[in-house]
Amino acid sequence: MNIAILTPNQNPYSETFIQAHKNHLNGKIFYYYGTGVGMQLEGYGALVSNWKRLYLRLICKLLKKPSSYMRDRMLLNSFKRHRIEAVLVEYGTHAHALRAALLESGLPVVTHFHGYDASMTNVIERCNNYQEVFALSKKVIAVSKAMEATLLDLGCPEDQLVYNVYGPRPMFGAVTPSYDKKQFISIGRFTDKKAPYYTILAFKAVLDKHPDALLIMAGDGILLNSCKHLVKHFSIERSVHFVGVIESDVYCDYLKTSLAFVQHSVTADNGDMEGTPLAVLEASAAGLPVISTYHAGIPDVIIHEKTGLLCQEHDVATMTSHMLSVLDDVAYAKQLGMAGKVRVAECFSLERHIQVLQALLEAT
């Protein structure tokens, strides 16, 4: 089966779930990335030849068409040339941007929502509440129960909507934590919805009782410098280490030597929310207890006091208490972590996620 995957970006470090689709779906995968006339097909380059591009540019000028018309002609030409049979569009926003071409193609389309695209108020309004996207899609995928409810409220037909949480790669299930260091690991983009400053504030209070504890924060983003300044302000630079963007094998090494994963996700002022954070699934698959918040898809995966410890958004004091709970009782940390490892293996494996997605594409 020739499957086209359409995504606005190529291989961003924070979108390993899209790379999993590209690498694990069965069939011949055609990976289209980009948003405008510069859209590329991985392994092939430009969608059309130079002479075809010049011809389309001339047509657009003569007919006074927008650049999106040229992009759509190029995409449809490529679909035809590669005999595409089904289309997976990553992000509802991308499906909305390409809606004219997708509709004209007549191909079965599966639209995969991921997070901000189903939560940010201005994004949803700009996409006309996704009415056209729902109309052209055979199936629509939500990655959390909260997202599923939102899409239903927006008018997505219930029989089109599929709840399909991501799955962590097998390498994370192979991790065996040692639980022998007073170390917490946090990985993700430094953005409002991940509220890394709350994690730092919670950890600062932890240091009052455990001054030898360590917090590892991996990732990059607009709030990184602010978080570094906050750490410097509190004079806890020796206790909080910013390690930048890390590869999966390095993340696994940190999981092996950490006591728990921490992330204080919140709903941003603009409505931006997580889907189900893959880093949470990966940490739980590795056998670490997850200390986080009742936010988006996190409580779908993490069961409070069974596979991790959750608090309400913005409740820094309770997050501190949860971090102290695993520091004061390592056996409890192991109990939570091992229960999480079993739950993820049974309910949220990558194999299950891909099987569901594969079935949807083949059924269309």
For 51-85, the pLDDT digits (tens) are: 888 888 898 889 888 889 999 999 999 999 999 99
Query: Each residue of 81-97: pLDDT tens digit?
Result: 999 999 999 999 999 99
CA distances from 120 to 114, 116, 272 (A): 12, 5, 5
What share of the chain in percent tops pLDDT 90? 91
**Cβ contact 260:340 at 8 Å:** no
Tokens of 182: 């007073």
- Residues 40 and 10 sit within 8 Å (Cβ to Cβ): yes
Residue range(s) of every CATH 3.40.50.2000 domain in the chain = 2-166+350-363, 170-347
> Average pLDDT over the chain, rounded to whole?
96
Give the helix ranges, DSSP H, for the chain: 16-24, 50-63, 67-81, 92-97, 99-105, 121-126, 131-136, 145-154, 170-173, 196-206, 224-233, 248-257, 278-286, 298-301, 316-328, 330-347, 350-363
pLDDT in the model for residue 10: 83
What is the pLDDT, as a whole number, of residue 14?
64
Write the single-letter amino acid at 326: V
Beta bridge partners of 41: 32, 45
CA distance 170 to 285: 9
Unique residue bearing structure tokens 């020739």? 2
pLDDT tens digits for range 319-335: 999 999 999 999 999 99
Cβ-proximal residues to 310 (8 Å cutoff; 6+ apart), any chain: 291, 292, 293, 294, 298, 299, 302, 304, 322
pLDDT at 12 over 80: no
Alpha carbon distance 319, 300 (integer Å): 19
Instruction: Give the amino acid at 335.
Output: Q
Per-residue model confidence as pLDDT tens digits over 228-284? 999 999 999 999 999 999 999 999 999 999 999 999 999 999 999 999 999 999 999
CA dist., res. 166 & res. 177, Å (int): 22
Q: What is the DSSP pairing of strand 86-90 with strand 109-112?
A: parallel
Q: What are phi and psi of 155, to 5 degrees?
A: 110, 10
Instruction: Report the b/e string of 175-184 with b at 16+ CB within 10 A.
Output: bebebeebbb
Confidence category of residue 13, pLDDT binned at 50, 70, 90: low
pLDDT of 314 over the 90 cut: yes
Among left, alpha and beta (phi > 0; psi -120 to 50; other), residue 316 is: alpha
How far is it, in rounded angstroms, from Cα 12 to Cα 31?
14
Asked whether the beta carbons of 27 and 53 are under 8 A apart, the reply is no
Q: CB-based contacts of 150: which residues, under 8 Å, 6+ apart?
A: 118, 119, 142
Token pair in block for residue 229: 């300044």
Report the DSSP beta bridge partners of residue 45.
Answer: 41
**CATH 3.40.50.2000 is held by the domain 170-347:** yes
- Report whether CATH 3.40.50.970 matches the domain 2-166+350-363: no
* Cα–Cα distances in angstroms (integers) from residue 334 to residues 118, 174, 177, 352, in the given order: 35, 16, 9, 26
